[in-house]
Amino acid sequence: MSQIPFTDIVANLPASVPFVGPEQIERERGFTFRAKLGANESPFGPSPKARDAIQTAIEDSWEYPDATSVTLRQAIARHWDINTDNVLVGAGIDELLGNVVRMTVPPGGAVVTSNGAYPTFNYHVHGFGGTLHLVDYRDDHEDLDALAAKAQAVDARLVYLSNPDNPMGTRHTADAVADFRRRLPTDTLLVLDEAYSEFAPEGTNPPVDPSDTNLIRLRTFSKIYGLAALRVGYAIAHADAVTGLNKIRNHFGVNRVAQHAARAALEDQAYIDALKNEIERGKRAYAEIARRHGFTALPSFTNFVTIEVGGVARGDRLLKALQDRRVFIRKPGVPPLDRCIRVTVGPEDQRTIFEQAFAEAVQEVG
């Protein structure tokens, strides 16, 4: 009998997926969610200028995108006052992570990350046959000391850190991150996922310095910029790292609509500034809701609030009770983080839906 000639790596991979999306839950349960507050998108939507850019791009829908995303890369370079050569655009941080892993991790290569951090990063490491070394969170923060020590101990090719952190919403200061970078082995590449950085205060993100060969910073248009549907993110990195990624990436992978919309969104910083205030208001509202029910909201440096609900079983039941009320949220997957639930900040009408459903859920779960 004939067989598909899988590589050993693929033959040995489990058939798991990083995330089950809300559409799948909707199909299984036969309803549509009233509020989707589980994936930390921006339910506020993108800048009107980005919407206009999508509208305009309809005319060119027959035409392949620019494989080098030059116009968008130039806008990003201007935004950060760096060279275009230090910017690589990808189909979201997920695609960039996959290519960074592929570029640096041979089968068996050592990779260090936090236990409970981004599942899609782990998925890619497994997918390329790398060996994951997990370090526990400490006090709901990624543990920089332990991460650096582990990277030294296993001579890691790659270390993944998200700052601010997902799923806990905590952060380290820019100084702490810069110090952490210096404590890694000489040839270790630090992947700094800054998907939530726009929500964090000054002093969270180290200065942008693309002369560092061993630091790749990842940014996205899926969070504050409100364009998760279109799949676009970018890396800021040393030109040699960009060259390396250009050797392997899918060159026509970033669609044309995304390139135009992302540029328009980036160039409307007034919209982003206004949004930040609204999100701060939303975070305070969620903290107040938590308090009212006797729970504690962790201080958040992101667009979501992580709420301690007093144990994994109660958290799971609350998630389920919220789902029964057609409210979609998520919760961390590993102990001790899984004693919490995680709720995205949406506009006021969505927060109200959450508030009411949560009150009922708490009542039901006890």
Q: Which of residues 245-284 bind its own copies (CB under 8 A)?
A: 246-248, 250-258, 261
CA 70 to chain centroid, in Å, comes to: 24
Q: Which is nearer to its own copies, 221 or 286 (CB)?
A: 221
- With CB under 8 A as the contact rule, the residue among 56, 67, 269, 274 that binds its own copies is 67
Give the integer Cα–Cα distance in Å for 266 and 232.
12
Q: What is the end-to-end Cα distance of the chain in Å, rounded?
A: 57
- With CB under 8 A as the contact rule, the residue among 153, 229, 313, 359 that binds its own copies is 229
Backbone phi, then psi, for 196, in 5-degree steps?
-105, 10
User: Would you count residue 117 as binding its own copies (CB under 8 A)?
Assistant: no
Q: How far is the CB of 96 from its own copies (least distance, A)?
A: 10
- Half-sphere exposure for 20 (CA within 13 Å, toward CB): 11
Q: Which is nearer to its own copies, 94 or 193 (CB)?
A: 94
Which residues, numbered 317-346, are part of the site for its own copies (CB under 8 A)? none
Give the integer Cα–Cα distance in Å for 49 and 47.
5
Q: How far is the CB of 196 from its own copies (least distance, A)?
A: 15
- Identify each DSSP E strand in 80-156 by its residue range: 87-90, 110-114, 131-135
User: Would you count residue 186 as binding its own copies (CB under 8 A)?
Assistant: yes
User: Would you count residue 112 as binding its own copies (CB under 8 A)?
Assistant: no
Q: Which is nearer to its own copies, 150 or 238 (CB)?
A: 238
User: Would you count residue 18 as binding its own copies (CB under 8 A)?
Assistant: yes
Assigned token pair, 174:
């820019």
User: Would you count residue 55 as binding its own copies (CB under 8 A)?
Assistant: yes
User: Would you count residue 131 as binding its own copies (CB under 8 A)?
Assistant: no
User: Would you count residue 182 as binding its own copies (CB under 8 A)?
Assistant: no
Q: Which is nearer to its own copies, 78 or 292 (CB)?
A: 78
- Half-sphere exposure for 14 (CA within 13 Å, toward CB): 7
User: Would you count residue 10 as binding its own copies (CB under 8 A)?
Assistant: yes
Which residues, numbered 68-97, are part of the site for its own copies (CB under 8 A)? 68, 70, 91-92, 94-95
User: Would you count residue 108 as binding its own copies (CB under 8 A)?
Assistant: no
Q: How far is the CB of 350 from its own copies (least distance, A)?
A: 12
Give the integer Cα–Cα distance in Å for 145 and 119.
22
Q: How far is the CB of 131 from its own copies (least distance, A)?
A: 14
What three-state secondary structure class fits 208?
coil
Of 80-88, 131-139, 167-175, 237-245: span binding its own copies (CB under 8 A): 237-245
Q: Which is nearer to its own copies, 72 or 298 (CB)?
A: 72
Q: How far is the CB of 61 from its own copies (least distance, A)?
A: 5
* DSSP result, 229-252: GG--EEEE--HHHHHHHHTTS-TT
What three-state secondary structure class fits 192?
strand
- Half-sphere exposure for 175 (CA within 13 Å, toward CB): 1
Return the CA Rg of the chain.
21
Amino acid (1-letter code) at residue 90: G
Instruction: Give the residue among 165, 170, 169 at the shortest CA–CA distance from 192.
Output: 165
User: Would you count residue 98 as binding its own copies (CB under 8 A)?
Assistant: yes
Which residues, numbered 141-160, are part of the site for its own copies (CB under 8 A)? 157-158
Instruction: Give the residue among 125, 68, 101, 31 at the shortest CA–CA distance from 259.
Output: 68
How many residues contact its own copies, by CB under 8 A?
Answer: 90
User: Would you count residue 15 as binding its own copies (CB under 8 A)?
Assistant: yes
Give the integer Cα–Cα distance in Å for 143 and 146.
5
